[in-house]
Amino acid sequence: IVAGVGPLAGLDLQQKIVSQTIAGRDQDHLTVLSVSRPYTIPDRTEYLLGQVAENPAYALAEQVRLLAQMGAQVIGIPCNTAHALPIWDVLLAEIAGCQVQLLHMITEAGRFLHEHYPDVQRVGILSTTGTYRAEVYPQVLAGVGFTAVTPPALMQESLIHPAIYHPEHGIKSCGRVTERARQDLLTGVAALQTQGAQAIILGCTE
């Protein structure tokens, strides 16, 4: 796991791996290698919005290579925004020749929807503004037959992104889902439903 993007997302992924592994004893579980070095990785949304110059792909690639050296065979990055093409394409180029399978989380989400929710046509997306503007989900979901539905730009900027990043009530800032963040995201869900969304993706990994 390339953890630290953010730290809560890495912990959440590891918990999901454990809870979804069929095991009757400690020894039946998968070996999980997790590296969390958040201070080395620039914020992905800030990069996509032009607020920082350094592409996070280089620091992400460093952690992928480190995990490969540790023996990892399959690697996931629990950060939706890291899968935006300006970051993802550079990351793939940086790890060329690295003998690991790097999962693409957005593609996996699309595959899961396609397999488990075949009657769904319109999928709502709540995400960071970086993921929103990069249109990461619309591009991937269109390839498997879904139409992505996103909030109006004003709602994205005034409610959804602050629910993630606001210094006083944002999920990343507070390390938990605050009541304010929850209510703002529920407002977003209701707006997406009025646009015909039949399923909702919470597209910020925390």
Q: Which of 5, 79, 148, 160 is catalytic?
A: 79
Nearest alpha carbon to residue 75 among 86, 64, 84:
64
Cβ–Cβ < 8 Å for 77, 60: yes
Long-range pairs for 6-10: beta carbons < 8 A, 24 or more residues apart: 6/38, 6/79, 6/172, 6/205, 6/206, 7/36, 7/38, 8/171, 8/172, 8/175, 8/206, 9/78, 9/79, 9/205, 9/206, 10/34, 10/36, 10/78
Structure tokens at 130: 């970086």
Q: Which of 57, 191, 204, 205 is catalytic?
A: 204
> 79 an active-site residue?
yes
Helices 57-70, 85-94: inter-axial angle, 10-degree rounding? 40
Catalytic residues: 79, 204
